[in-house]
Structure 1
Amino acid sequence: MTARIAVPAALPAYARLPLGFSVEPLQRALSDLPATAWQPHFNRDYFEGDWSGIALLAPADAPDSLLAGHGEPVATPLLEASPFWQDLLARLPGPIRSARLLRLGAGARIREHRDPDLGDDDGDLRLHLPIHSHEAVEFILEGRAIPMRPGELWFLDLSRSHRVENPSPHARIHLVLDCRRTPELLERIAAGLADTPPAQEARGTRQFALFRAAVHRDAELQRRLQAIDDAQSFAETAVALAAGIGLHFSEEDVRAAMQQGRRSWIEQWVI
């Protein structure tokens, strides 16, 4: 009898699944899709720049084809017309409830947020298959950059805090899948844990740490930061001051650091 892989008692934050895909066919199939098929993402509250998508498979009850729902999945006309995408979805661990191509344009960002429904005991499991990316793109999960590369299939627990930064001159495009939580898929996630590369410290986090060190050495920087009495102005000023000395991070990096439990920023910087 074949030994079964033990299903983890708790899901990991992320895992690269033991399943990969050739990048060139993915990119060719993507380029064959009409430019008019891309539609703006429904959630306008937490992104900047171009965040758009193409639905391939969507729940029948979803009010927007890019929005999750609970009904049975229905193939869109684009999927019905494409043997390539049909074959690809058939190879992926399922059952798949939604399949979307999501594009984050050059210079765009998705701000820090959570998708709490993915953390439910019966919630879907979200998988990402990068198709186009760039070394400057960072998918940051709980403060750590996940090292996803095109052609790899990843599980991400996005009920946890996450954000995406694309400072590159190129669009980042992933195939994003919401799959039902099955023992078979949980086993695939468990099987991917052993060789999953570790997440890295995010670039903005490193730059922010250098900025904090610079503030400790510079009384003028301390004075300017001490004059600020609200978090939003503090983040904006920190980003601007850092840029003036050649360091670059976002307001999201400042807010994320604050959310991780660090408080009394001004007091910490008084020498």
Structure 2
Amino acid sequence: MENITESNLKKIDRVKLPFEFDVEALQKEVAKLAQRDFIYYSVIPLRAPAYQVDSSIPFPPPAEDYADGSWTDWLDTEELTQSPALLSVIDFFRENTTVNLVRLLRLEPGAIVKEHTDPTLALEEEKSMIRLTIPIFNNDQVEFILNDEIVTMKPGECWYLKLNDPHRVNNLGTEERINLTIDVIPNDWIRELISKSV
């Protein structure tokens, strides 16, 4: 779709972006990071608020709007700095936009994330961030459902999802699902990328 308007862009709820990452290298690193046991759901922070990474940095003052990411400085965690394949993915986005929160989201086999919305994670939200999702470990029994439609995402792909719309996840398989999520502040580069990928 050429010359998509800004108003139409804001209505789009899912876009596969035009690049894929080395899933084999990412899986090797993530497997090492994910060795600790967990029940239901687990988060491994790779880029986090500075005060969580460096105890010498004071807790930031209260913010009027946490969604814009400017309420704190963001630092890479030790898990990220020791993972060159993951770091190369984050650096790719850092070269083009502002990267804030980065996490590995783990969902155990048989687990269900109930339907919910993330009010600030969409292009149309003022001072928003958007979340880019790169599946690392997935299986055919994982259902990511956005606006009552399944979004089929394969390992190594990169997706923009409009997460202020209702979404839920069912891991009906026998293996855990792990997604890399990268929260970025929308700029002209990412908007154009999404527009051209529709």
Question: TM bucket by the smaller chain?
Answer: 0.7 to 0.9
Within the candidate set 109, 116, 119, 1:116 is matched to 119
Q: State how far apart, in whole Å, the 2-side matches of 1:58 and 1:191 are.
A: 30
TM-score (norm 1): 0.60
Q: Report if the CA contact (8 A) 2:21-2:89 is conserved.
A: no
| Letter in structure 1 aligned against 2:197 | G
1:230 — aligned with what? none
Give the total of aligned pairs: 177
User: Using the alignment, how far apart are the partners of 2:102 and 2:144 within structure 1?
Assistant: 19
Q: Measured at CA, do residues 175 and 7 of structure 1 come closer, stay the same or move farther in structure 2, by a change above 3 Å?
A: farther
Q: RMSD value over aligned CA atoms?
A: 2.4
Q: Are 1:190 and 2:190 an aligned pair? A: no
Q: Relative to total residues, which structure has the larger helix share, 1 or 2? A: 1
Structure 1 position 50, deviation (Å): 1.0
Deviation of 1:77 after TM superposition, in Å, equals 1.5
Per-residue deviation at 1:59?
Answer: 2.5
Q: In the TM superposition, what are the counterparts of 1:1-271 in structure 2 within 5 Å?
A: 8-9=6-7, 10-11=9-10, 12-33=12-33, 35-36=35-36, 50-60=40-50, 70-92=71-93, 94-119=97-122, 120-193=125-198
CA apart distance, 1:6: 5.6
CA contact (8 A) 1:7 1:187 kept: no
SS in 1 for 2:121: helix
Name the CA distance, whole Å, in 1 between partners of 2:132 and 2:180. 8
Determine the C-alpha separation between the residues in 2 that align with 1:159 and 1:34. 28
Distance between the aligned counterparts of 2:3 and 2:23, measured in 1? Answer: 29
Could you say if the C-alpha distance between residues 33 and 144 of structure 1 is closer, same or farther in structure 2, counting changes exceeding 3 Å? same
Q: Mind listing any 5+ residue stretches in structure 1 that lack a counterpart?
A: 41-48, 194-271
Alignment gaps of 5+ in structure 2: 53-58, 60-65
User: 2:84 and 2:130 mapped to 1: Cα distance?
Assistant: 25
TM-score, normalising length from structure 2?
Answer: 0.81
Structure number with greater Rg is: 1
Q: Which has the higher contact order (CA 8 A, sep 6+)?
A: 2
Report the 3-state secondary structure (helix = DSSP H, G, I; strand = E; otherwise coil) of the residue aligned with 1:116.
coil
Q: Identity of counterpart residues, as a percentage?
A: 33
* Alpha-carbon distance in structure 2 between the residues aligned to 1:19 and 1:29: 20
Give the 3-state SS of the residue equivalent to 1:78 in structure 2: helix
More strand by share: 2
